[in-house]
Structure 1
Amino acid sequence: MSVTLHDDVERILLDEQSIHSRLAEMGEAIARDYAEDPPLIVGVLKGAVMVVGDLTRRIDLPIDMDWMAVSSYGSGTKSSGVVRILKDLGADITDRHVLIVEDIIDSGLTLKWLLTNLRSRGPKSVEVATLLRKPDAARVEIDVKYVGFDIPNEFVVGYGLDYAEKYRNLPYVGVLKRSVYED
């Protein structure tokens, strides 16, 4: 018998239908809020790829997209908040509304750095949309305009979220078995 990625998942936290329904609601809210002046959607690589793809298809506005990749140093499952840019925006955000789209907000340290960085570039506004937020893991307070789901402080994978670059392609968000990431 072959081993699949699903074998490493303890339980499904959010199924595919729940995720798609919530992203549709978020997309409608974004379309309403930015009807007069559509935002530049900034996806944070790699985890937000699935979220950006599915969310933007539900925003009925002419929007532009760009991507950033940032790396925060720390141990395997924790962020230190020390950040470096691996891929910067190609677009000029001066006088534009910017909507950062994240897969998950844990400590908030990396996102806080990213918000400060982008706000220093002269945009009209910078807001955040995230599929998942872990309130119990927050180390800094971040104002998030659009939240898909608040979840418990557990190690989750799927729907773009990874562990060691695996599990991103799972169609749901699941809790990873501790035996996979703890020795």
Structure 2
Amino acid sequence: MMFAFIFPPQIRDDWPGYSLDLFSYPAHYSGDLDCVMIPHGVIMDRTERLARNIMDDLGDHAIVVLCVLKGGYQFCADLVDRIKDLSHNSSRTIPMTVHFIRLKSYLNDESTEDLHILGAEDLCFLGGKQVFLTSFTFKTIAAAPQSVHVGFEIPNRFVVGYALDYNEYFRDLNHICVISESGKMKYKI
């Protein structure tokens, strides 16, 4: 089966984001954020669209989900929930198992280093018949592989929220936001 790469919505480098005054967020982060890049409602809508695309691509094949902790858990949970909902409301049920991969650290801010966890060749060797990646955000500095479902292509800015953190802070934000320089200094280790 061949997967069709659908270019994700792109948030342009020069886009200033949504004003923080338009959204609710925890008061203890006041002054720590520059803007809301992707509001929670848009996150949920795009996650449902990705779930539909994945179901279309997989047909009746079982899914084994490998979730990267900690930053990917919220997107993974929401995506799995949407796939389950769509599966229950259709004529087919897609068997699914979820496993978790914990990373000691990851790169977020203007990094040009590659992060290699487990390659598609490794997964195929372990018994995967079809392997593709799903990521809610993908920074424009990197070239997206052709076998990937991407929520949004975003500028190379330091984003937090929706389980993405900075030194274990900001995971509780519902929106994906850009951290301010003062926020980086405040929560720096």
TM-score (norm 1): 0.72
Query: Does the CA contact (< 8 Å) of 1:108 and 1:142 recur in 2?
Result: no
- Give the gaps of 5 or more residues in structure 2: 1-25, 88-93
- Give the gaps of 5 or more residues in structure 1: 80-106
Q: Percent identity?
A: 28
Asked whether 1:15 is paired with 2:48, we answer: no
Asked whether 1:24 is paired with 2:28, we answer: no
Structure number with the higher strand fraction is: 1
1:164 to partner: Cα distance: 0.3
Distance across 2 between alignment mates of 1:156 and 1:73: 13
Distance across 1 between alignment mates of 2:65 and 2:172: 22
TM-score (norm 2): 0.70
- Structure number with greater CO (CA < 8 Å, separation at least 6) is 2
Query: Does the CA contact (< 8 Å) of 2:33 and 2:183 recur in 1?
Result: no
1:134 to partner: Cα distance: 0.2
1:38 to 51, 56, 62: 62
2:99 match: 66
**Greater C-alpha Rg:** 2
1:153 to 156, 159, 162: 156
The letter for the 1-side match of 2:136 is L
Aligned length: 151
Distance across 2 between alignment mates of 1:44 and 1:124: 20
1:20 to partner: Cα distance: 0.3
Asked whether 1:48 is paired with 2:51, we answer: no
* Structure 1 pair 8–113 and aligned structure 2 pair: CA distance change class (3 A): same
Distance across 1 between alignment mates of 2:43 and 2:63: 22
Cα RMSD (Å) of the superposition? 2.6
Distance across 2 between alignment mates of 1:73 and 1:145: 20
1:180 to partner: Cα distance: 2.3
* Structure 1 pair 36–108 and aligned structure 2 pair: CA distance change class (3 A): farther
